[in-house]
Structure formats: C-alpha cells, structure tokens
Chain A
Amino acid sequence: MSSKKGGLYILWEYKLPYLFLLPSVILLIFFLAAPLVSGIYMSFQKISLRGISEFVGFRNYRLLLGEGRFRNNLLFSVLYVAGNVGLSVPLAYAAALLITGKLRGIQFFRAIFLIPFIVTPVVSAILFRSMVNPSFGPITALLEMITGKHYIILADSTLAMLTIIGHSFWRSFSFIMLFLAAGIATIPTELYEAGKVDGAGAWARFSHITFPLTKIHLTIVLLIITMWTLQDAETVYALTGGGPGYSTEVTAVRLFKDAFINFNLSYGATIGVFLLMMSAVFMVFYFKLMGGAEHY
C-alpha cells in the first residue's frame, strides 16, 4: 500500500496521530497551561483595577496567611472535604456491597440513583435552601419536631456547615456507590466460591477478597470526590454565600468572592495557588495510598 502511494504518504501516516491531537493540545496549552503559569506570576503582583501591576514578592501570601479569615477559609475547606468524604464514601461503599446482587431492575434504579449527579448544582442548592427555609421547609419542620425548639438553619454556623456537607453528600453519594459497585462487579465470582469452599465466612470473604480487590477503586473515588469538594465554589456560594458571617466560607468561595465580586485579582490568583497546592497535597497522599494498594 505504502509503496503504491509513496514516501509522502508514510510521512502523512506517521504524523497523523499528532495532527489529530494538535487542536486539543493547542487549546489546552493556551487555555489551561498558560493561565496556570500566569496565575502563579500574578500571585506575586499587586494588580490595580486599571490593570497596572507591580511585583511585590510574597506580599499577597503574607497578607493572606496573616488573616484569621483566610486561615479559617483553609480550615473550612478541610472540614468540608472531610465531612463530605467521611460521610459519603463509607456509606456508599456499604450501599455498593448491598446492591451488587444480581437483581432485576438494576438498570432502571441505576439511572434514578445517578440523578443527583446530573442535577444543576445551583438548582439543587436552591432546592436545599427551600427545604431548610424557616417558614415551611420540611427539614426545619423535622428538626423542630425532634428538638421542640425554633430554628433558622442557615443563620446558625454549625447547621449551615452541616447543610453544605449534606448537600454535597446528596450530590456525590450515588456516584460513589455506582463507581464502587462497578469495581466490585469486576471481581470474579470463582474467588468467592473458592473462599466458601475453604470455609471463609462472610466477613473473611469481605476482608480477604472484596476489600483488597476494591482498594484501588476506593482510592480513585476518594481522589475524585476530594477534588470535586475542594474546588466546589458554586454550590456553597448558592447555598450560604459563605455565611452566616464567614462560617461556611471555604477557600474556593473566598476565591470566587475576592476575584469576581470584589475584583481583587491579586488575591484571586494567590488563593488559586493555595488551592492548587492543597490539591497537590491530596493527590500525593492518595497516590501513596494507591501505591500501597498495589503492593498488597
């Protein structure tokens, strides 16, 4: 074939994959890699609204870390991530073990379960806000029925934090469950049969077969959910605006408010670098975990 079409064709054939990938790569370099570099550069500058910038070294970092509010932003991010991951991953894992039986109707239920994942985040935030509204929200009513006290949920800093965690839990629970169920389904049934023959009970089969073989799926889903929760600005902003006070103002919300409402571009860029560093820490941590899983 190639002899018929000549040397030019071989060159064409050799270059084809690069040519096919070129548009994506150019766009990613221009709109992802380049902004990343200039974002880091901007974090060392003081940028005025008129666009005049001067180099100020680590001044933005020093100012931010010197703020009690910003240290709380970092803390609330960790709380928000830990709250959502700590609640959703164990429960979703238990639910995944439960639903991996060979039941009819799983197709239908799977679509239903995945609905929270595809619901517009701003819409689910509005639905949750209306569920905790003080005049007729069902969650407020339930809470008042149990405790006998009157509540304005989003005006209470602890309850507001629980609301944003609960909302993320609702959004991510079924995604995690289906992800882990897909992982569990890849385990060959012969392993369980062999386990039964060897007299392993349900717990032994779980701890020696299911858990080690799904450790990698657990690690990946932990990473996904951590990253999504860490960078989530829009649902928290739509639910509480970071309030009451600054008590639910996670780092991503602080970035959003500083950069796009108060137009403090230097702070926006600097908080972005902080978010990237936090992501890197989590990624390294989980990759270490995954490395441990491979040695198992």
Chain B
Amino acid sequence: MKVKDTISWIGFLLISVFVLFPLFWGIRTSFSPRYETSLIPSRLTLEHYQSLFVRPAFLLYFKNSLIVTLGAVALTLPLALLGAYALARFNFPGKQFGILLLVFPLLPLIAILVPLVSYMYKLGVYDSFMALILVNSVFNAPFALWMLRNFILNTPVEIEEAALLDGCSRIGALCRIALPLMLPGMIAVIVFVFITTWNNYLYAAALTSSMSVRVLPQALLSFIGTWGMYWEGLCAAGILTLIPPLVLFLFFQKWFIAGLFAQWSR
C-alpha cells in the first residue's frame, strides 16, 4: 500500500503542475517587464495592470459582464427552482421527458444561433443586455434544473409532508421548509450559471455589435486586434477576467462539484 500511495502522490503533483502551469505563466507574464524571456522574471512590475485601469473601457466591459451574468443568474434561479421542485416532488404524466434536460446541454447550440439572432432582432432586443441575459438563461436552464432536481431528491420529503399535514399549503411548504434545505443546490446552480455566463464569448459575439454592451471575453479578443502581440497586457486582462469565476468556484467548490458530477452519473 505504501508504494501505491507514493505513486498516487507523484501523480497528484504531476497533474497539478500540468493544470496550473498555464495559470502560473499568465500571472508571471502579467507582472513581467516587456519581452522578459526567463521563466522567473528578474523584477516585477505593475505597469500592465496600470495600463488597463487607465482605460475607462476595461472597467465598462467588467461592469457589462457583471450585469449580464447577474441578470442570467437572477432569471435562471427561479426557473430552475420551480421546475426542479416539480420534477423531484410530483408524479405526473410526461415526467419522463425530464431526461431531455440532460440532452439539451450537449446539443451544438451554435447551430441555432443564426435563427436566434433574427428572432432577437424581431423582438427588438438585438444588441442589448436583455438578449444576452435571455439566451444565457435559456441555454443554462436545463442543466441548472437537473442539477437542482438531484439536490432536492436528496433532501428528505418527510419534513415537507409533515408541514403539509399541519395545514401548510404547497407554496408555504416550498418557501418555508424546502427552500432552506435546498440552499446547497441553489448555490451550486448560482455558481454554475455565473461561471458559464461570465465565460461565454459566442452568444455575446453573435447577439451584440456595439461597444457599449461588449462583455469581457469579447473585449479580450478585440485587444489582440488593437494591441497586437502585447502579451503582458493581454495576460493581465486575462487574469483579471478570471478572478470572479475562480474565487466563486474555489469558495463554493464542494457544492458545485457535488452538483456537477452527481447529475451526470445518476
């Protein structure tokens, strides 16, 4: 057993190096003087971060990303809560179609982006936060709903039943008894929707055209166009973009990972 443990530890360390090296490289480059070639830079500088913050545009894009992401979370969470509760706690004809929720996230959504853009145009929301919030919510809802359904299935139904017998209405039982028990699931859904929306480039690129609604991933790609190969600045912008999803993930990773893997292997 001792030998096997040692091999496992070496494996852990190798995988960690593989996983973390690009991030280390990004952080290292963002603090290095320009054209620094050695892996450990001889001196560190904040100039690339400063050059980002003197541009008001970067803060605008950060704010835009935050608006779209929080909007999508706010819209997806109630959808997922209601749907997940129905799937987990009721028996009704048609319930078996719930399995479709696991198929939707696998479909190449890029394939329907062209007609979706013309829909948004006709709805008059093309090139607006509303379009991005809608699309991100709809495309994340199936996954979020299924994730939450599994959390609810794992909370005991007896407490709710007791509340119902005591004369609590369904809605009352949902709000006062079930909702607090669902908190870990809700957090997993919030983290999931936050990360996928924050990270998404494709929908924003398809559904918006003006600078005023541009989100961070779009901004990063446009920086490559305007800055050329200013890798230090690009890495600095990239690292700043990563901070919100990374912090959220590391903080709530236990529930997020539980939600992520329980739902596929069930």
Contact = CB atoms under 8 A, between A and B. Distances in A.
Contacts of B239: 123
Majority SS of interface residues in chain A? Answer: helix
A178 B113 CA distance: 31
A275 B111 contact: yes
B113 A259 contact: yes
Interface in B218-235: 220-221, 224, 229, 231, 234-235
Nearest to A231: B108
A275 B78 CA distance: 32
A141 B38 CA distance: 10
A279 B246 contact: no
Contact of A272 (B37, B106, B112, B164): B112
Given A238-B201, A272-B114, A99 B234 contact: no
A88 to B, nearest CB: 12
A105 to B, nearest CB: 8
A232 to B, nearest CB: 9
Contact of B199 (A35, A107, A121, A223): A121
A276 to B, nearest CB: 5
Given A24-B83, A252-B108, A127 B235 contact: yes
Given A122-B221, A178-B261, A20 B134 contact: no
A203 interface: no
A127 B26 contact: yes
B198 A115 contact: no
A107 B221 CA distance: 35
Contacts of A221: 264
A260 interface: yes
B257 A131 contact: no
B87 interface: yes
Nearest to A261: B205
B8 to A, nearest CB: 5
Interface stretch (B42-50, B181-189, B247-255): B247-255
A174 B19 contact: yes
Interface size class of B (residues with CB under 8 A): 35 or more
B53 interface: no
A17 B224 contact: no
A183 B249 CA distance: 22
A205 to B, nearest CB: 14
Interface in B63-96: 78-80, 82-83, 85-87, 90, 92, 95
A107 B39 CA distance: 30
Interface string A236-271: 011000000000000010011001100001001101
A21 B110 contact: no
Interface in B1-29: 4-5, 7-9, 11-12, 15-16, 18-20, 22-23, 25-26, 29
Interface of B: 4-5, 7-9, 11-12, 15-16, 18-20, 22-23, 25-26, 29, 35-37, 39, 78-80, 82-83, 85-87, 90, 92, 95, 104, 106-119, 134-135, 137-139, 141-142, 145, 164-165, 167, 170, 195, 198-202, 205-206, 216-217, 220-221, 224, 229, 231, 234-235, 238-239, 241-242, 245-246, 249-250, 253-254, 257, 261, 264-265
Interface of A: 1, 13-14, 16-18, 20-21, 23-24, 27-28, 31-32, 34-36, 38-39, 42, 95, 98-99, 101, 103, 105, 107, 109-116, 118-124, 126-131, 133, 135-136, 138, 141, 170, 173-174, 177-179, 182-183, 186, 217, 220-221, 223-224, 227, 230-231, 233-234, 237-238, 252, 255-256, 259-260, 265, 268-269, 271-273, 275-276, 279, 283
5 contacts: A27-B134, A31-B138, A115-B23, A256-B110, A256-B206
